[in-house]
């Protein structure tokens, strides 16, 4: 009878520890900008990247992956005003070597290409990043 009581106590203690343990961390998702086979370049339609972002869920801890030809494109993190104006005079961050992997934090983030007039040709988008659940 004592062995049964000891086994039950061990089972209960193990159960309590397992329930109290934090859940395992979720793995970050790498989002290739524009879709899995996409390149960061002048799109066939100006709203392509914005439509892709609007249909994708981004969570803090995920990464954006920008695939582009170095020297022909870049990625610049800018303010909303600069995004709207397609300028990059006061960037928060910039990446000139591709592929660029950008870790995401919660909030809204605006990205443009500062090469030539590529931004006005649609090489821009913004993401709304959620906190993990």
How do residues 36-95 score in pLDDT, each as one tens digit? 999 999 999 889 999 999 999 999 999 999 999 999 999 999 999 999 999 999 999 999
Query: What pTM does this model have?
Result: 0.79
- Domain CATH for 75: 2.60.40.420
Structural element, H or E, at residue 52: helix 48-54
Distance CA 122, CA 125 (A): 8
The answer to the question of residue 77 being in a domain is yes
CA distances in angstroms from 8 to 17, 18, 21, 64, 116, listed in the order given: 14, 15, 20, 49, 72
Range of the domain at 39: 25-130
104 part of a folded domain: yes
H or E stretch at 5:
helix 2-20
pLDDT greater than 90 at residue 28: no
Domain count, the chain: 1
């Amino acid at each position: 009878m004592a062995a049964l009581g000891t086994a039950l106590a061990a089972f209960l203690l193990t159960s309590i520890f397992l329930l109290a343990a934090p859940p395992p961390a979720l793995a970050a998702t790498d989002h290739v900008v524009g879709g899995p086979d996409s390149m960061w370049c002048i799109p066939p339609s100006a709203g392509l990247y914005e439509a892709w972002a609007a249909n994708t869920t981004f969570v803090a801890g995920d990464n954006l992956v920008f695939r582009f030809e170095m020297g022909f494109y870049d990625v610049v993190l800018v303010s909303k005003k600069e995004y709207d104006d397609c300028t990059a005079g006061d960037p928060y961050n910039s990446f000139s070597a591709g592929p660029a992997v950008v870790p995401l934090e919660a909030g809204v983030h605006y990205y443009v290409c500062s090469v030539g007039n590529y931004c006005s040709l649609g090489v821009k988008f913004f993401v709304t990043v959620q906190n993990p659940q």
